[in-house]
Amino acid sequence: MSISIDLEDSMNPCAKSIRINSNSLLAIVVKKNIKLTWLAHVTLVDRKTISRWLSGDIKRVRRENFFKLVDALECEPEELVHETMTNYASKDEQINAAREVLNLVKDIKDSKSVEKILKGMILPTLPNEILVALYKALSQIYELEGRDREARRYKRYASSLDIINDDKTKAFSIAN
């Protein structure tokens, strides 16, 4: 069963759940010889729930549980949402591409084209600061077009990620 992250997940960093690929999850668990009880203990998710993720009975995972799963399995998020990574850019390539696109779109006058390009660059695995820049750029395009509702939505996305970044920075400085 091939399940990939849907457009709404990738557009909304506040989405509460992410679609997973149960085949990929199962392959990683088997390859790494991971026991369900251990995975349940580490992720703080019920063993039966994990079993349902593996069987495909549950297709969506809460965002926080998804990233706990990624950490426990020591894998990349893309490995759990795509069938194979062979045709996809690495995380570093995605980050560099997003930065280049942000610089390039400044010179494009066709707002519809810029909108499509920016939306195509938004991936849930990009660092928050890049997602913030992408969301802010989209918000500016919508403001110029008088599409206030969309502008506000992307400003909220950017703000929510800025708050997360601030919280992480504060937590880091407190810990040190």
DSSP string, 29-67: HHHTT--HHHHHHHHT--HHHHHHHHHTS--EEEHHHHH
Compute how many other C-beta atoms are within 10 angstroms of the C-beta atom of residue 166: 10
Q: What is the pLDDT of residue 87?
A: 55
At the topology level, CATH places domain 7-81 in: 434 Repressor (Amino-terminal Domain) (1.10.260)
Comma-separated ranges of CATH 1.25.40 domains in the chain: 91-175
Looking at domain 91-175, its CATH class is mainly alpha
Looking at the predicted structure, is the pLDDT value of residue 155 above 70? yes
Question: Which residue in the block uniquely carries the two structure tokens 């502008």?
Answer: 151
pLDDT digits (tens, 9 = 90+) for 42-71: 999 999 999 889 888 888 999 899 999 999
Residues 101 and 117: their CA atoms lie apart, in Å, by: 8
Residues 161 and 167: their CA atoms lie apart, in Å, by: 10
Q: Mean pLDDT for the chain?
A: 79
* 54 vs 109 pLDDT, higher one: 54
* 104 vs 142 pLDDT, higher one: 142
Comma-separated ranges of CATH 1.10.260.40 domains in the chain: 7-81
Q: How confident is the model at residue 111 (pLDDT cuts 50, 70, 90)?
A: confident
